[in-house]
């Protein structure tokens, strides 16, 4: 796709690459380096993991303010600033050798992740081209779907041959260069056409209708439960499959299946986008998730592959649904703040996943059953807003 379209200049591929960098550095990387990081700092693995998890809670605390900044200054500027902050955070990790320095570094990384992840990238796409935002959001998620694979392969190579500090330098440099690209090469003036001409009002002061309040509440429930289900499942798959098949290699193979099928789901979303309501594709996808979780309870290798394919397609579609559906009801000049409020419980769901997974650590089947029951929430959230009138 050309980065120019009829609605305005949208650096859609650059936004997509930024999500590989942001999610790879500030979310996926710590799964691989947490042991070496704990050794470097002289901390227990449990303490290190807890601090990394707590950094995700920063999203909950500042997402509304990030949304305000996104509406005031534009998504691209917020995104580039967030990438720079993350770069500084990893430089701090390079130099730190104690708990206090680690806490400060993770504070910066938490702020960066809130300012440079999907939430802001999607808002930028909507601000720049409201009409084609669904397609652009889907393209951005194509890149995000391979973030884990790119990150794990790169970090695995660096860790084996150059050590932990080389990883920090590489991640810092990647974040810095991505932020610099947006800062220097993008024409921010074209983004300003959707910015208010005067200081924007506080979102709470806006005259929201009862319908708009209901929509925001429903989407908050959707975001929290969908990301809690996905993140908890993703964190637990290897242990779950290993307990069922007693073979770590099989567990890794099965757990890795869902990733590529996220791309399949997003490809289907792009194909159906021209004639199918995003809420309808979301409803279908939200049915895939509980179905996949039911199927993986069957201890058969090939059945579990099918289950993981359904799970990947379901989450792949739902990522686009969550990114685009708010745009059906709210104008682009308010989309940053709307997404900021919706992102707070979404981030809470993501950050709560390690704790939920830990609670069911000794009984993975009970965890899956709990997640199946919880998956009713995303389905009915979309069902309730399916017939509501949109602004288009």
Q: What's the CATH code of the domain at 222?
A: 1.20.1250.20
pLDDT for residue 85 is more than 90: yes
Can you tell me the distance from the alpha carbon of 62 to that of 67, in angstroms, rounded to the nearest whole number? 9
Helix (H, G, I), strand (E, B) or coil at 130: coil
Do 212 and 329 lie in one domain? The reply is: yes
Q: How many domains does the chain have?
A: 2
Do 93 and 41 lie in one domain? The reply is: yes
Minimal CA–CA distance to 267: which of 298, 234, 313?
Answer: 313
Tokens encoding 359: 């609670």
Do 170 and 307 lie in one domain? The reply is: no
Do 178 and 221 lie in one domain? The reply is: no
What is the pLDDT at residue 259?
79
Q: Which helix (DSSP H) or strand (DSSP E) does residue 4 occupy?
A: strand 4-5
The pTM of the full predicted model, rounded to 2 decimals, is 0.80
Out of 54-63, 149-158, 173-182, 243-252, least confident range: 149-158
Residue 286 lies in a domain: yes
Tokens encoding 186: 């993008």
Q: Which of 186, 221, 236 is the last residue of a domain?
A: 186
125 contacts 12 by C-beta, under 8 angstroms: yes
227 contacts 117 by C-beta, under 8 angstroms: no
Domain range enclosing 82: 14-186
Q: Please state the φ and ψ torsions of residue 288, each to the nearest 5 degrees.
A: -60, -40
Do 159 and 80 lie in one domain? The reply is: yes
Q: Which of 186, 218, 252 is the last residue of a domain?
A: 186
Do 379 and 244 lie in one domain? The reply is: yes
Residue in this structure with the two tokens 């920090």, named with its chain if needed: 168
CA 24, 27, 31, 32 dihedral sign is: positive
Q: How does pLDDT run across 22-72, given as a tens digit for each residue?
A: 988 998 888 778 889 999 999 998 898 889 888 888 988 998 899 989 998
45 contacts 168 by C-beta, under 8 angstroms: no
Helix (H, G, I), strand (E, B) or coil at 223: helix
Task: Name residues whose C-beta falls within 8 Å of residue 89's C-beta, 6 or more positions apart in sequence.
Answer: 105, 106, 107, 108, 109, 112, 172
Residue 2 lies in a domain: no
**DSSP structural state of residue 98:** S
Strand pairing category for 4-5 and 8-9? antiparallel
Can you tell me the distance from the alpha carbon of 68 to that of 74, in angstroms, rounded to the nearest whole number? 10
Can you tell me the distance from the alpha carbon of 178 to that of 382, in angstroms, rounded to the nearest whole number? 35
Do 236 and 364 lie in one domain? The reply is: yes
Do 169 and 291 lie in one domain? The reply is: no
- Write b or e for each residue in 272-287: b if 16 or more Cβ atoms lie within 10 A of its Cβ, otherwise e: ebeeeebbebbbbbbb
Rg, Å, the chain Cα set: 20
Residue 201 lies in a domain: no
pLDDT for residue 252 is more than 50: yes
Residue 344 lies in a domain: yes
Average pLDDT in the 293-307 region?
Answer: 95
Burial class (CB in 10 A: 0-12, 13-18, 19+), 337: buried
Do 211 and 182 lie in one domain? The reply is: no
Average pLDDT in the 84-112 region?
Answer: 96
Q: Which of 186, 221, 254 is the last residue of a domain?
A: 186
**DSSP structural state of residue 27:** I
Average pLDDT in the 314-321 region?
Answer: 90
Do 245 and 129 lie in one domain? The reply is: no
Do 176 and 278 lie in one domain? The reply is: no
Residue 4 lies in a domain: no
Residue 353 lies in a domain: yes
Q: Give the count of beta carbons closer than 10 Å to the beta carbon of residue 72.
A: 15
Burial class (CB in 10 A: 0-12, 13-18, 19+), 36: middle
Helix (H, G, I), strand (E, B) or coil at 365: helix
Residue 8 lies in a domain: no
Residue 84 lies in a domain: yes
Do 181 and 212 lie in one domain? The reply is: no
Cα 98 to chain centroid, rounded: 29
More reliable by pLDDT, 253 or 190: 253
């Amino acid at each position: 796709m050309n980065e120019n379209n009829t609605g305005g200049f949208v650096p859609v591929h650059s936004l997509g690459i930024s999500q590989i960098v942001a999610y790879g550095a500030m979310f996926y990387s710590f799964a691989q380096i947490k042991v070496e990081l704990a050794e470097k700092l002289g901390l227990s693995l449990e303490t290190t993991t807890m601090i990394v998890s707590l950094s995700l809670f920063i999203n909950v605390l500042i997402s509304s303010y990030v949304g305000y900044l996104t509406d005031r200054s534009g998504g691209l500027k917020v995104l580039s600033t967030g990438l720079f902050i993350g770069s500084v955070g990893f430089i701090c990790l390079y130099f730190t050798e104690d708990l206090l320095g680690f806490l400060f570094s993770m504070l910066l990384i938490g702020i960066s992740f809130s300012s440079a992840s999907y939430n802001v990238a999607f808002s930028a796409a909507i601000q720049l081209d409201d009409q084609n935002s669904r397609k652009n959001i889907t393209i951005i998620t194509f890149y995000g779907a391979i973030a884990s694979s790119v990150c794990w392969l790169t970090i695995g190579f660096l860790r084996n041959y150059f050590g932990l500090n080389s990883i920090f330098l590489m991640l810092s440099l990647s974040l810095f260069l991505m932020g610099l690209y947006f800062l220097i090469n993008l024409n921010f003036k074209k983004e300003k056409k959707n910015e208010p001409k005067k200081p924007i009002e506080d979102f709470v002061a806006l005259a929201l209708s009862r319908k708009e309040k209901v929509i925001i509440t429903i989407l908050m429930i959707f975001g929290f439960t969908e990301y809690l289900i996905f993140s908890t499942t993703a964190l637990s798959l290897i242990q779950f499959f290993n307990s069922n098949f007693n073979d770590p290699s099989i567990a890794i193979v099965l757990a890795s299946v869902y990733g590529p099928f996220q791309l399949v789901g997003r490809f289907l979303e792009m194909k159906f986008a021209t004639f199918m309501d995003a809420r309808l594709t979301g409803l279908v996808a939200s049915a895939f998730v509980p179905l996949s979780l039911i199927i993986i309870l069957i201890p058969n290798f090939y059945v579990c592959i099918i289950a993981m394919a359904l799970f990947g397609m379901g989450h792949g579609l739902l990522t686009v649904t969550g990114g685009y559906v708010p745009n059906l009801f709210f104008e682009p000049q308010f989309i940053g703040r709307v997404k900021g409020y919706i992102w707070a419980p979404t981030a809470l769901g993501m950050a709560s996943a390690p704790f939920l997974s830990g609670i069911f650590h000794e009984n993975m089947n009970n965890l899956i059953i709990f997640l199946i029951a919880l998956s009713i929430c995303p389905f009915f959230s979309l069902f309730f807003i399916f017939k509501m009138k949109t602004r288009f």
